[in-house]
A and B are shown apart, each in its own frame.
Chain A
Amino acid sequence: MLIPHPLLGLRDAAEFTYLGDAALLNRPDPGAGEAAFCDYVYLRDNPAGVHRELWYHEQGDRSWLVVTRNTLTHEILGAELARDVKGGAA
C-alpha cells in the first residue's frame, strides 16, 4: 500500500505505524464519565468499507495522518495531516 502523504507524496505504508480508527481523535471531555471513556477506549465501529484511520509516519517526518481507506479492497482514497482535521473523524 502506498499512502499519499500531503507533504511528501506517495510513501510506502511500511514506513508508518498504524493506530486505528480516527475517531480516537475525539477524546471525550474529562468530565464525561466512565461510560463515555469506556466506549472511547474499547469500542470500535470496525466498518467493512470506507474507514478513516490514524497512521504515524514513524520512519519519515513523524507526522500523524488521517488516511481514508477501504478495508474491503485496501484501496487508499486519501490522506490528510491529522492536525488539519477539525474535531477528528467526522
Chain B
Amino acid sequence: MKFSGLKVFAEALKGHTGWKPLWRNPEPKAEYDIVIVGGGGHGMATAYFLAETFREARVAVIEKGWLGSGNIGRNTTIIRSNYLLPGNQPFYEMSMKLWEKMEQDLNFNAMVSQRGILNLIHTDAQRDAYRRRGNAMHLSGAGAELLDREGVRAMYPWLNFDNARFPIKGGLMQRRAGTARHDGVIWGYARAADQRGVDILQNCEVTGFRIEGGRVLGVETSKGYIGAKKVGVAVAGSTSRVMQMAGLRMPIESHVLQAFVSEGLKPLVDGVITFGAGHFYISQSDKGGLVFGGDIDGYNSYAQRGNLPVVEEVLESGMALMPRIGRTRLLRMWGGIMDMSMDGSPIIDHTPVQGLYLNAGWCYGGFKATPASGYAFAHLLSTDRPEATATAYRLDRFARGHLIDERGAGAQPNLH
C-alpha cells in the first residue's frame, strides 16, 4: 500500500474502509540471519537499512513493549547537526542528510520540518566557542550562521534580551535543523522495514543470550528461543541490563531525562531555540503546545519519571529566557531513560562476544541520530566494517584514551 494524495482522495470517497495496518504481527521464526534487540527508533532504522540498502533478507526486530513506547516517543523531536568534534560532526551531518530525504524514501509523512535551530549566546567567550563550532559545522557541510544581537531580535523580539545576568548577545543558527514528528519516524521505519520483509516481534522480551565458545548463537525470549547468526543490541537506557546477560559491563549509566509540553497556544515559536546560559530548549508543535526540556535529573534511574527540583530548574530557565510564557499552563511531563556514556558520545561497535554488536550510549541526543545510527549499525552488522562517519564510536575507545568528549566533563555521565 503506497500512500499518496490520490490514495487519500480515493479513500475519502470509500469512507476510509480500505486502509490496512502499517505492519504485520508475525510469529517468530526459528532462526534469522540478523536479530535486532530493541524496536525503538535506532533498532527499527537499522532493520530498514539492513533490508533496503544491504539486502539482508532474514531480519527480525525484537521489542519488549510496543513500537513507540520508549525514547522514540518521549523526546523533544529536535533534529540538528551542530556538533564540534571530528568524531561526531560528520556523522550527525550524515544523519541530517538522511532526515532530508527520509519521507520520500519511506513514503511516510514524518513531518520533518527544517525550521532552524538557534543556540543563543550570552557571553563573549560563548561567542568565540560558537564561532569555532560554526566553523566545524561548515567543514562538514552542515552550514551555520553567526547572528548578532539585532539578528536574533529580528527573529524573536520577545526574548529577554536585557536579562541582567544572561543578556542575549547573539546566536548560532543552523537553518537546516528543525523538528520531526517522533511517532511518525518509528511508524514510517516500521512500515518500510515490514514491507521489505523484516519481522517485527512486539511484546517479546529478550531474557538471555545463548553464547557458546565466545560466539552468540541466538537469543532467549519470552516467546521462546530464536536463533541468529548475528545479534545487534539497540536498547538505549536498558543497555547495561541487556548486555549484562551477555556477561559484559558497560561504560554507561542510566539516567532519567524529563520533557514537558504546555497547553496549546497560537503560533509563537516558529523554530527551535536553546538557552545558552542554562540547559533549556524549546519548540512549538504543530498542535500548538510548547515542547521543551532541560537537563537530566542527575542520578541513576530506570523509573521513566523524574523529580520536582529539575522541573523547577527547567521552568526557571524558560522564564529567564522568555518571560512571556509565565502564565502558560503545563499540560504534561514525562521521563525517559538515557544511556549516558562516559564521554557523552555513542558506541556503534563489535563486542568481545563474536556475532554480538552494540549500538548504545546516545545520552539524551539519540533522536536526531536515528537515521544515521540505523544506517551505520546496519553497515556494521552486514559488512562487519564500521561506516565511514562512525569509525570513532568504538567500545574500546575508553581503554585506548580516544574519548569523544564534546562537553569536556570527563568520566562523569551525569555532567554530559
* A pairs with B: yes
A-side residues, CB < 8 A to B, are 1, 12-14, 18-21, 34-35, 38-39, 41-48, 51, 53, 69, 71-74
A-B residue pairs in contact (CB < 8 Å), sample of 5: A20-B414, A21-B300, A41-B411, A43-B249, A73-B303
Q: In the bound complex, do residue A20 and residue B253 qualify as a contact, i.e. CB atoms below 8 Å apart?
A: yes
- State whether A43 touches B250 (Cβ < 8 A): yes
| Chain A residues, Cβ within 8 Å of B252 | 44, 46
Q: Is B317 an interface residue (CB 8 A)?
A: no
Number of B residues whose C-beta is below 8 Å from A?
A: 24
Residues in chain B near residue A73, CB distance under 8 A: 303
Known: A1-B307, A13-B307, A71-B303. A42 touches B342 (CB 8 A): yes
Q: Chain A interface secondary structure, helix, strand, loop or mixed?
A: mixed
> How distant is the Cα of A69 from the Cα of B256 in the complex, in angstroms?
15
Distance A86 CA – B221 CA, assembled complex (angstroms)? 40
Tell me if A44 and B240 are in contact (CB < 8 A): yes
- Residues of chain A within 8 A (CB-CB) of B413 are 20
Question: Given the complex of chains A and B, what is the CA–CA distance between A41 and B413 in angstroms?
Answer: 11
Q: Which residues of the partner chain A approach B240 to less than 8 Å between Cβ atoms?
A: 44-47
A43 CB, min distance to chain B CBs, angstroms = 4
Structural contact, B411 and A42, CB atoms closer than 8 A? yes
Chain A, Cβ-Cβ closest to B341: A42
CB of B301 within 8 Å of the partner chain: yes
- For the complex, would chain B's binding face be called helix, strand, loop or mixed by DSSP majority? mixed
Q: Which of A47, A53, A72 contacts B299 (CB 8 A)?
A: A53
B301–A42 touching, CB < 8 Å: no
Q: In the complex the two chains form, what is the Cα distance from A34 to B398 in whole Å?
A: 11
Chain B residue with Cβ nearest A51: B300
Does B407 interact with chain A (Cβ within 8 Å)? no
Note all chain B residues with C-beta closer than 8 A to A74. 301, 303, 307
Query: In the complex, what's the smallest C-beta–C-beta distance from B361 to chain A, in angstroms?
Result: 11
- CA gap between A55 and B10 in the complex, in Å: 62
CB distance from A60 to the nearest CB of B (A): 15
Residues of B within 8 A of A18 (CB): 298-299, 414
Select one of B254, B298, B398, B399 contacting A46, CB under 8 A: B254
**In the complex, A39→B248 CA distance in Å?**
12
B210-253 near A? 1/0 per residue, CB < 8 Å: 00000000000000000000000000001011000000011111
Q: Which residues of A contact B399 (CB under 8 A)?
A: 34-35, 38, 42
Interface residues of B in 113-167 (CB under 8 A from A): none
Partner of B249, one of A35, A41, A44: A44
A contact residues around B307 at 8 Å (CB): 1, 13, 74
